[in-house]
Structure formats: structure tokens, C-alpha cells
Amino acid sequence: MSVEIHPTAIVAKGAELADGVSVGPFCIVGERVKIGPDTRLKSHVVVEGSTTIGARNEIHAFAVLGGPPQHTAYKGEDTRLEIGDDNIIREHATMNIGTVAGGGLTKVGSKGLYMIESHVGHDCVVGDNVILIKQATLGGHCLLGDFVIVGGLAAVHQFTRVGPHAMIGGLAAVVKDVIPYGSVWGNHAHLEGLNLVGLKRRGFSRETINTLRAAYRLLFADEGTFQERLEDTARTFADSPEVMEIINFIRADASRPLCLPEREV
């Protein structure tokens, strides 16, 4: 297979384009860019910096990938952006390279959908099957697990963790960590419950969902201290990998506090 480059596109010497890559009108591809097989740049796409893009990605007009971090400490260091396979990156979406202080790498997984004007900040690590709805924004150093959905116009504060299968409602301002399978809403966001719709869509069994609901009620009940409830939940549901994923997420060292319910569960 050959590479297709529109006559109006600019592809720098040194860029590496695999078989089947298509570079559309008025695109700009930098000299340190690597693009995997069958990836398509529609038109007016800018890919710069030390950016590696995997296979079969579809990148739409005016997306900018690999731009410098929006951070005053960045002084032009050769940091990186890595994007996986089979993503759809829509118009005006932006993904920045990392910073030296943050490890030098922004990493985006595979099979994601990044809608219009969504943003992945420097040093973020984003899992697979993630959806950022229109104008959703990730500050620097955010960690998103697999199957996370971030609603339209929602913003996730820098250094915040969002566990796998969590749902963030539209317009939410997320300044605290979100447990796996959780659903949060509001400004500032609070935990509303579990992401039951997402769990059902992804084929989690009724038994698993009921176990998660029981664990959630125990973990966020009014009785005792939170630490006591955490240990009770860990003992009671030790055989559930999904519940233990929540427990381990909470126990892990974190720079942000935990997003909690506003009311009784």
C-alpha cells in the first residue's frame, strides 16, 4: 500500500508515515512525527512535536496533536505524545505533549472518541474506549481508566484520577478523584451513585451490578468512620474483583481528595 499526501499538505522531512496513511488538504506533519498504518488525517490537521500515532485513527479538521504543554515551566524540552489505535478525533480537538516534571509523556489509549474541541492536557494518561464529549477538558496529569465518559463542557482538575467505567456528567467541575464505576455530577461534582447505564451497556452481569450496589451502600453509609466502612467493605466483598478495584483505588496514594456523595445513599 502507498501513502497518500495531498499536494497542499506539508509533511516534514523525517516524518515516518506507514502504509495506508492518508494526509488530506492543508495538513501539517512535523519532522518527529510517526503515524501508523491506515490512519487518516482529513484536512487542516496539525501533528507536531515528538508524536506517535497508531493504526487506523481518524483525525478530523483543525485537530492539533502534539502541541507544546500549556504550562509556564515548559522550555521546549523534547517530550512526547503517544496515541493508540482506532481512535476518532474530531474537529478542533487538542492533545499536548508531556512535561519533564510530569514524566515527559502524554499517553492516550485506543478505541476512543474525542469529540469537537475536547482537550487532553500534558502528562495525562488516558485508557481505552474513553469518550470525551464536546468541549470536555482534562487538566494536566489526569489519569483516566478504560471506558470513562466525560460529559460535554465538563472539566477535570489537574492530577485528578477517574477510575474505569466512571461517568462524569455534562458541565461537571471535577476536583476530586472519582471511584471506578462511579457517576458524578455538579459544580463542584459530587458522587451520585454508580454508572449503572454504562455497566449494563458493557455487559456486566446482574449479579456483579448487585454486588457493586451493595458494596456502594456499605461504603458510603452514615454509620462509623469512612476508614471503618472501607475496611468492612473490603472484608465483606473480598471475592469481588470489581469491588476490590474500588477499594484499591481509594487506598492508593493520591494527590486529590475523593469525590463523595452529597446525601445519604
Catalytic amino acids?
A: 122-123, 140
Contacts of 103 (CB under 8 A, 6+ apart): 123
State how far the alpha carbon of 234 is from the alpha carbons of 192, 211, 265, in Å.
Answer: 21, 12, 18
Residue pair 76/57 in contact by the 8 Å Cβ criterion: no
**Total length of the chain:** 265
Q: How are strands ordered across the β-sheet holding 161-162?
A: 16-17, 34-35, 50-53, 80-83, 105-108, 125-126, 143-144, 161-162
Contacts of 193 (CB under 8 A, 6+ apart): 182, 183, 216, 261, 265
d(CA 9, CA 192): 47
DSSP 254: -
